[in-house]
Amino acid sequence: MARRRGAVPGARLRAVRVPSTVYTRGVTPSASALRPLRGLRLDLSHRTSSEEELPAEVARLWLGGRGLGAYLALRERLYDVEPLSPENPLIFAPGPLTGTGAPASGRYSVTSRSPLTGTVFDGNSGGNFGNALRRLGWDYLVVTGALDEPGYVTVGLDGAGEAAPADPSAEPFAGPGDATLRPAAGLWGLEVPAALERVRELHPKSEAAVIGPAGERGVLFASIVNNRGRSIGRGGLGTVMGAKRLKSLVLGGHGDHKPTVADPERLEFIVYEAEKLLKSNPITSTALPEFGTSVLVNVLNQAGAMPTRNHRESQFEGAASICGEMLKKDHVQRRSACRGCIIGCARRTSAGGQTGEGPEYETIWALGAQCGVSDLTAIVQANYACNRAGMDTITMGSTIACAMELTELGLLPGGPRFGDARAIIELAEATAAGEGLGAELALGSARFAALYGRPELSMSVKQLEIPAYDPRGMKAQGLAYATSNRGGCHLRANMLSPEILGVPKMVDRFATLGKAGLLINLQNLNAVLDSLSVCKFTAFAMKEDYYARQLSAVWGEQVEPQELLLLGERIWNAERLFNLAAGFSRAEDTLPPRLLHEPVPAGPSAGQVVDLPPMLDEYYISRGWDEDGVPSAAKLERLGLTETAAAAGIAGSVPAPAGTAAP
């Protein structure tokens, strides 16, 4: 069956039915305190708003956040839509635990089709934006269309919280939600911190999500940032927002619709138990609060799993200069945390007379070891440059590293060289401004490397740059990258826990087979966490039974842990169907050639490569997919996705007869 990789510019959305009632093992409709989901839809092109309602059973089967985003993306056939066209929506969705007081649950997701990868894509962020949306009485918000001129939209302010008289140029949307379009004359062009500060001055009682200059100029890895500096960082969802000429989405921050909890006393007790676990676990009580995610620099480097100089090596000789201990000693001012989080893994830092958030481990790696840079001050300053512009630091650093290798090969005369600390700052700024080499780096490493005839030098999967864990030193992480539905990503499932940290148990990190089931369980669980909208770090201390108990208290009905994992499996398979409909196949479930064929030259992982094909075969069999990665008819039926697959033009594969050898 032919697959469509190319997007269709200007394609019209055609709503298709995604079944809302499914009778399968583990999901049995019953009497419930669940209510229908209320959604607000804003059409920027026509300045109209509308309310829609989804049956309560949609919440039962898709939860919220990422899962609800996947449901809506399939229902509206976004795989047929050009990512930067007005028809590609941004779907803002908190989860059922957001705002309930559950630990580390003040989060929300944004879903769209990524302009960087072409895949279904969601990002998950902390801050207070998701709480504010729920307090306004909305379970999700969909933004479609595009503005003729740059502007920003307020929702739910109702004339309150204004620091100045009403703007006569403001244009109310026709419809519900108290949505108003306002000119962005004083906002467009502002960097992220200044834009957030200006919005707060204009609307003191509000919560805002903004883009920076990178999103305005079409950098393909621009981010969306909300108050407290929390980002929807990867995949270019800020670029989608910029294509709509939408500088900011501003919510009234003090709505009256407190999220309903069916059994508050039960939830309070479960939260008490969960917080005791978080406070007693060494990772969530000591390592992350003390050093943040940068604690991983020495851990991964000592294991020989820290990619260095565009993944040519897996150990960085300068790691001791850029580790979490040095960050704390020389740059950290204080800890910070997302709303309602007792872990507090974030950091306020200073460097070179500047202050800001971070950097996190991934950023230290991307702008440090990946570029051969051991100057921590320069790394922190380059991180600030990305944060101000609203850019993903992982893609930025890895794309600069690609340019450095091209320079070394003589293909980019006068380009940056490995170890050039000043270059990472200057190139981040040039990329945000669209100047010089930065205009090409703004494409991301896959397109950039292809421009110079060396696509294999892009360390990406599905055109999303892979993060700071060399899969030659932890083999199942390579399988996690290859099978990730949004491209090279450690947040879909990070095998760091079992392969390096020994949580919940240590497995042989160099073993090729026998880990597909463990990976699938993590992928399903993380789909649940993104859909409940809780922080993944809580999973270091909590198992799925705690999430199931919290959800049971909120919904007022019993949710079993295995039922929760089944919901995660449904979400994962739905995202797979989206990508299949968009033209992706087994051919894209791969790794950069370097990781498959170039052995690590030295260190603890010396001589290792990733033998991916047998791992992929085992994974597909364990998932219930055929050898091409298409879910079987039986799998689709069990998950209630048969009609969804048919609407997307995907026919579920028929498994081989009993006794036939597996592929």
Residue range 63-85, pLDDT digits in tens: 999 999 999 999 999 999 999 99
Structural domain includes residue 650: no
- DSSP string covering 47-102: TEEEEEEE-HHHHHHH-SHHHHHHHHHHHTTGGGS-TTSTTS-EEEEE-TTTTTT-
Give the E-state strand segments of 105-204 in sequence order.
108-113, 120-125, 140-144, 151-155, 171-172, 179-183
Give the E-state strand segments of 72-205 in sequence order.
90-94, 108-113, 120-125, 140-144, 151-155, 171-172, 179-183
Q: Are 44 and 153 in contact (CB under 8 A)?
A: yes
Structural domain includes residue 238: yes
Are 228 and 314 found together in one domain? no
Are 387 and 454 found together in one domain? yes
Structural domain includes residue 74: yes
Q: Residue 318: is it exposed, middle or buried by C-beta count within 10 angstroms (0-12/13-18/19+)?
A: middle
- Sign of the C-alpha dihedral computed for residues 457, 462, 467 and 471 taken in this order: negative
The Cα 563–Cα 569 span in angstroms is 10
The Cα 80–Cα 66 span in angstroms is 20
Determine the structural domain holding residue 121 and report its residue range.
Answer: 37-252
pLDDT for residue 227: 82
Place of tokens 């079409």: 218
Are 62 and 141 found together in one domain? yes
Give the strands of the sheet with 120-125, arranged side by side: 48-54, 37-43, 140-144, 90-94, 108-113, 120-125
Structural domain total, the chain: 2
Are 246 and 311 found together in one domain? no
pLDDT for residue 286: 87
pLDDT for residue 228: 75
The Cα 356–Cα 347 span in angstroms is 8
The Cα 64–Cα 94 span in angstroms is 6
Last residue of one domain, picked from the residues 252, 276, 296? 252
Structural domain includes residue 359: yes
Structural domain includes residue 327: yes
Are 193 and 328 found together in one domain? no
Q: Are 116 and 220 in contact (CB under 8 A)?
A: yes
Give the CA-trace dihedral at 482, 487, 490, 494, to 10 degrees. Answer: -40
Q: Are 438 and 570 in contact (CB under 8 A)?
A: no
How far are the Cα atoms of 64, 210, 384, 469 from residue 229, in angstroms, in the given order? 23, 10, 11, 25
Nearest-5° angle of CA 430, CA 413, CA 383?
A: 30
Give the E-state strand segments of 326-438 in sequence order.
332-336, 346-351, 354-357
The Cα 644–Cα 663 span in angstroms is 26
Last residue of one domain, picked from the residues 429, 461, 493? 461
pLDDT for residue 346: 80
Q: Are 281 and 541 in contact (CB under 8 A)?
A: yes
Last residue of one domain, picked from the residues 461, 483, 507? 461
Regions of the chain with pLDDT less than 50: 1-31, 656-663
Q: Are 307 and 445 in contact (CB under 8 A)?
A: no
Are 187 and 333 found together in one domain? no
The Cα 597–Cα 585 span in angstroms is 22
Q: Are 294 and 359 in contact (CB under 8 A)?
A: yes
The Cα 540–Cα 502 span in angstroms is 11
The Cα 190–Cα 185 span in angstroms is 10
Strands 108-113 and 90-94: antiparallel
Are 319 and 240 found together in one domain? no
The Cα 608–Cα 588 span in angstroms is 22
Q: Are 532 and 65 in contact (CB under 8 A)?
A: yes
Q: Provide the H-helix boundaries in 556-611.
A: 561-581, 593-597
pLDDT for residue 18: 45
Render pLDDT for 238-286 as a digit per residue (tens, 0 to 9). Answer: 999 999 999 999 999 888 898 999 999 999 999 999 999 999 999 998 8
**Amino acid present at 199:** V
Are 99 and 174 found together in one domain? yes
Structural domain includes residue 646: no
pLDDT for residue 349: 85
CA gyration radius, the chain? 23
Are 336 and 430 found together in one domain? yes
Are 206 and 344 found together in one domain? no
Are 322 and 235 found together in one domain? no
Structural domain includes residue 406: yes
Place of tokens 């902390």: 126
Structural domain includes residue 384: yes
pLDDT for residue 162: 58
Q: What CATH code is carried by the domain that includes residue 341?
A: 1.10.569.10
Are 310 and 205 found together in one domain? no
Q: What CATH code is carried by the domain that includes residue 52?
A: 3.60.9.10
Q: 263-271: long-range contacts (C-beta < 8 A, 24 or more apart)?
A: 263/552, 263/553, 263/554, 263/556, 264/553, 266/552, 266/553, 267/100, 267/101, 267/102, 267/550, 267/553, 267/554, 268/101, 270/546, 270/549, 270/550, 270/553, 271/101, 271/102, 271/103, 271/550
How far are the Cα atoms of 119, 220, 422, 508, 617 from residue 211, in angstroms, in the given order? 21, 13, 26, 42, 41
